[in-house]
A = this chain, B = another copy of it.
Amino acid sequence: MEGIEQSVKRYFDKSVTDRERAIFEGAIALGAIYHQFVGTPICKDDEIIRTLEEAIRKTMRLQPYRESIEVKINDSLIKGQKDHPYDYETLKGKHLDLKVKTGYGGAKATVRMRYIPEIDFTLMYIEKLEEV
């Protein structure tokens, strides 16, 4: 839809490249996913984990220029199955491995968020940039 894209472009600094726009859109997705879903109750139950991953993937794909979103909730950091009423955890950044691919004009960006043990931090970074 030409119309809206042109309307939107007017608000951006004129020097922004396609590659920068692809990075911008991917980075928004990372910040959004983290701060929307952290705190959700989880436990080491495959069906629950898969359903939450799928909901994150499908809803967050709706934002503009996202080409794909891969979401993996790292079960190895979560305790075993619930065996009493208070036995569950809540989603934390370190549980999430996110890969978001965006495309804008002739550029594609792959941005990532994952827990990196070496620096003990859940890092958001630009993994790959491509021209198409």
Contacts and interface: CB of A to CB of B under 8 A. Distances in A.
B84 A4 contact: yes
A58 B56 CA distance: 14
Interface of A: 1, 3-5, 7-8, 11-13, 15-16, 19-21, 23-43, 47-48, 51-52, 54-56, 58-60, 62-65, 82-88, 90, 92-93, 111-112, 116, 118-119, 121, 123-129
Contact of A23 (B27, B83, B93): B27
B51 A55 contact: yes
Contacts of A34: 32, 35, 39
A92 to B, nearest CB: 7
A99 B33 CA distance: 20
17 contacts: A4-B87, A8-B86, A8-B121, A11-B116, A27-B31, A28-B28, A31-B33, A32-B34, A34-B35, A36-B40, A42-B62, A48-B58, A51-B58, A52-B55, A52-B58, A86-B119, A92-B92
Contacts of A29: 31
Given A11-B123, A27-B25, A32-B34, A60 B39 contact: no
